[in-house]
Amino acid sequence: MRTGDQIVQDLPWRWNVQGKIFLIGGLGYMFDAWDVALNGFLTPLVGTDFGLSPGQKGLVATANLIGMAVGAVAWGTVADRIGRKKAFSITLLVFALFSALGALSPNLGVFLVLRFLAGIGLGGCIPVDYAIVSEFSPRRQRGRVLSAMDGWWPIGTTLAGLSATLLVAVPGNWRWMLVLMILPAVLLFWVRRGVPESPLYLVRKGREAEARAVIDDMVRRTGATPEPYEIPKPVAEDARGRAVTAAFDQLRRVWAESPRITAVAWSLFVSVMLVYYAALSWMPSILKAEGFGEVAAFTSTTLMNAVGIVGVLIAVLVVDKVGRKRVIAVAGPLAAAALVAFSLLLGSPSAAVVAIGAFGLFALVVIPVMYAYVSELYPTELRASGFGWASSASRAVTGFAPLLFGSVLWPVLGLPLTFTVLGVMVLAAVVFMMLGAPETTGRELDRIAEPAPAGTVPTPQP
């Protein structure tokens, strides 16, 4: 007899069932992208408003990204302890509240504190959203669904760019940019209240009656043939690590589960996202420094983000056919190479814009596949925490990237050498992944180590 979680993962895809979860989860991810991209546009505007030095300008993005690092750890742990559903809604509410207050900031200090607190709320969206979407998705479509989740990212970054470009001439422009972003976020918070709890989470926690109610409802609504199934015994929960130490207890468990897998996940997240966030946070300022006007700099950055939509579409088309690892291994280094090319072509504005477009394309091929891949590597009881800690590691490192980029790397090493060093880090992480982690394409969650069914594209186990 099959188990309840196997039933869920073999259901047919229906837009009014799993698709609804995908859309609601993806919209939260869109706000994460909108907020992160907005840092790049806020940096020169807040810098002018408060009279900031180049080093102080780097703090605009750093405060927000460090808050996201804290939030990814905290909310990933909360989601694994109290459930996906509650964390799913609260993260967005915290983000909207402190973003609204941030728009009223009277000085730099208050602004940085409120951006940090907004980041804590938003930092939980990615690990929690990916956990709940992956656990509702059928196994056969999971790679495409999780990769398509990242389609919300370039939509969010493009909206950030469009709003910034439209509001740049308005007095108090950066304040209105924050206000415009939070209005739909509050509406989404209300919509999220209707999302059911993850059936895989309920199964692993031993909440059999609730799990059966959700599973039976999904079987009925998808039109699948009902069949008897069993609910396995719950996974024993480690009772240590309550309250303040809960997150670090989950960190211990994440590394204890598989040091090699966790090392691969962290190295991918840190290297790839370091390149991406460095470009995203400073691209408008780089272009302005190279002679682009404010509107032209904002428009070119928006183009870089919009091209990413095509990148996500490519990722969705190839992720299940080619395999997670192969896509990451090709697209990651190509994204870094495009950024190096951009730095070398700045003397030719047209060629430079083409290069940053190529960067936006390849970056949004590798990132969605990387997110799908890492979310599949961990068992259900650690999925949000494993993803959250990998995300937090990248946010902690990339959080200081805007500050270091503006005060040390760019002025000392220059753009070509800086981007080359970052590219070498991506290449090293890709080689480590190819040697140290399994392919997950077509395999059941919680059974990744088992052979993939016929017709998938497995890569030999390391």
CATH number of 4-234+245-436: 1.20.1250.20
Task: State the CB neighbour count (10 A cutoff) for residue 435.
Answer: 10
- Ramachandran angles phi, psi of 150, nearest 5°: -75, -10
Give the residues across from 230 on adjacent strands: 3
Contacts of 404 (CB under 8 A, 6+ apart): 58
Amino acid at 222: T
- Return the structure tokens found at 243: 């309250």
CA 372 to chain CA mean position, Å: 10
pLDDT of residue 385: 77
Every domain of the chain and the residues it spans = 4-234+245-436
Distance CA 77, CA 94 (A): 16
Q: Where are the alpha helices (DSSP H) in 124-258?
A: 125-136, 142-149, 152-167, 173-192, 199-204, 208-222, 246-257
> Would you say 75 and 87 are in contact if contact means Cβ atoms under 8 Å apart?
yes
Collect the ranges in the chain with pLDDT lower than 70: 76, 88, 235-247, 402, 406-407, 442-462
What is the rounded distance in angstroms from the CA atom of residue 161 to the CA atom of residue 34?
8
Supply φ then ψ for residue 230, to 5 degrees.
-115, 155
Q: pLDDT digits over 61-117, tens only?
A: 888 888 887 887 777 677 777 777 777 678 878 888 898 899 999 999 999 999 999
Residues 405 and 278 sit within 8 Å (Cβ to Cβ): yes
State the pLDDT at residue 459: 43
The 10 Å CB-count burial string (b at 16+, else e) for 334-372 is bbbbbbbbbbebbeeeeebbbbbbbbbbbbbbbbbbbbb
Give the Cα separation of 126 and 116 in Å (integer): 17
The reported pLDDT for the residue numbered 266 is 94
DSSP code per residue over 300-311: HHHHHHHHHHHH
Closest CA to 141 of 445, 461, 459: 445
Tell me the residue type at 442: G
| pLDDT for 460 | 39
Per-residue pLDDT at 248: 74
Q: What is the largest CA-CA distance in the chain?
A: 68
Q: Which residues does 9 contact at the CB level (< 8 Å), separation at least 6?
A: 137, 138, 139, 142, 444, 445
Are 167 and 103 in contact by the 8 Å Cβ rule? The answer is: no
The pTM score is 0.71
Dihedral pair phi/psi, residue 3, rounded to 5°: -95, 165
